[in-house]
Structure 1
């Protein structure tokens, strides 16, 4: 067990109020002590990463003006535009990628290991997909281990395709991949696809295939992989414990595995456990991608379903008090994700809707939620899943009668 040290902290009223306000916006329901620990962790994390080039707001503004000047002169502004989009989306490593000659490797942290990893994965799949596309039907059938030579793509012999990245446990990889493909226009092969993995896509899966690719790369000078090499590549399995798979790193015999809610014979503990785990996964993704608190994530999700809607109605659906909901809405409004408008039915009442930026964010959150659903429900048929959802909706409606 790690050593800890107890110390006393005295706060004036202004500092305590500021910490409470930050907690309400980012960690709704947490104690002040938990909020302080989180602030300390964030501060230390920022200090540890503060070794590379930093750009002030003024420098970013000048860079944006340079892009305008280049366009006015008829020169290409693609590199400057890519760097500015990187600043706007939190992908600061784009500056090092586009202008790496300006920064020494020792002083720059703009191109982290994650970015290099994602680029290597995309390059690897580009090589093997291009090779497979050039094979005959007989060769494709052989690659996929089919019995006959008459395999048709999309039917008996589905094309091997880059699976994407795990948006549930490793959202940072999805963010980097989407920025490379959508914004920087690299790896055009993947531009019309979802880069979120429907199944698999964990770092350790890609890492295992990267090891195979690195061993094969010297032999690929001047040629594409052969059917035998593509077949072997597709059959690579991750080694146990490789990568940062959070589930794989847990102890095999954790005491919680023997726990069962069956002994209670109650519905609430089961639903509560499922809700807490899924909510925690969703909030981790929303926080890492957009810096949203749990209440802000819930607000965006519900707005997507009920907009235009008043704060009071939104609070009802979220089962929160109006004060918490109002603070979350104010934070989202300041960031340009939500807009307040007068209701057409009642001019005295304001209703909330998502802005285009808010809709884009909600769409990303929905994609990640769909990936979580696929992971949880496993192989349930669509018809069976619809019956499960209908039953749960009925349970919720009857449970509300107990508290209303």
Structure 2
């Protein structure tokens, strides 16, 4: 006698426990999806209007906000590994947008050139326009709640990351 077989090897996967959310309901997944959609639309605009990639935009924006920076510090702030940041900086240096100044030991200080600073002003204006376009759909109270929630989640996420590294 043949019994019907489930296409899933784990029957619990078909019907998750009521207290467990499927991936689509997980906070980290939802935040990631929103952040990725925001980043993709930013990347399209910045490529079209300024001929920079998202990684280049972040590098220029970080240097425009706080210079000089070392490659290591810049990579940490941009959430890129050092090798990725090195490639981005090399491209921006070739384009005359970033200046490398060699310091004591093996440290290299990175700053924007005049051309890079001019590009930064255009990029940061566009970024602020995009920011306002997103925030317009929220009330003042929702903006405050969002800022507070992001601060709390960021603090907890960094603490959990440090705990996992042990």
Distance 2:125 2:144 in 1: 19
Matched, 1:282 2:42: yes
Residue among 364, 367, 377 paired with 2:125: 367
Larger helix proportion of the pair: 2
Residue among 307, 318, 326 paired with 2:67: 307
1:332 Cα deviation (Å)? Answer: 0.4
Distance 2:146 2:36 in 1: 19
Pairing of 1:67-82 with structure 2 (within 5 A): none
Distance 1:274 1:379 in 2: 14
Alignment: residue pair count: 142
1:402 Cα deviation (Å)? Answer: 2.5
Distance 1:332 1:352 in 2: 11
Matched, 1:358 2:116: yes
Per-residue CA deviation, residues 5-63 of structure 1 (Å, 9 max, x unaligned), is xxxxxxxxxxxxxxxxxxxxxxxxxxxxxxxxxxxxxxxxxxxxxxxxxxxxxxxxxxx
1:271 Cα deviation (Å)? Answer: 1.2
Name the structure 1 match of 2:157.
399
Name the structure 1 match of 2:3.
none
1:331 Cα deviation (Å)? Answer: 0.6
Distance 2:77 2:136 in 1: 28
Per-residue CA deviation, residues 310-335 of structure 1 (Å, 9 max, x unaligned), is 11111112222111110110110111
Per-residue CA deviation, residues 130-154 of structure 1 (Å, 9 max, x unaligned), is xxxxxxxxxxxxxxxxxxxxxxxxx
Alpha-carbon distance change, 335 to 392 in structure 1, aligned in 2, over 3 angstroms: same
1:369 Cα deviation (Å)? Answer: 1.6
Alpha-carbon distance change, 391 to 338 in structure 1, aligned in 2, over 3 angstroms: same
Residue among 272, 292, 305 paired with 2:52: 292
Matched, 1:269 2:29: yes
Name the structure 1 match of 2:6.
none
Alpha-carbon distance change, 283 to 264 in structure 1, aligned in 2, over 3 angstroms: closer
User: Are the aligned partners of 2:24 and 2:30 in contact in 1 as well (CA < 8 Å)?
Assistant: no
Pairing of 1:105-116 with structure 2 (within 5 A): none
Give TM-score scaled by structure 1 length. Answer: 0.32
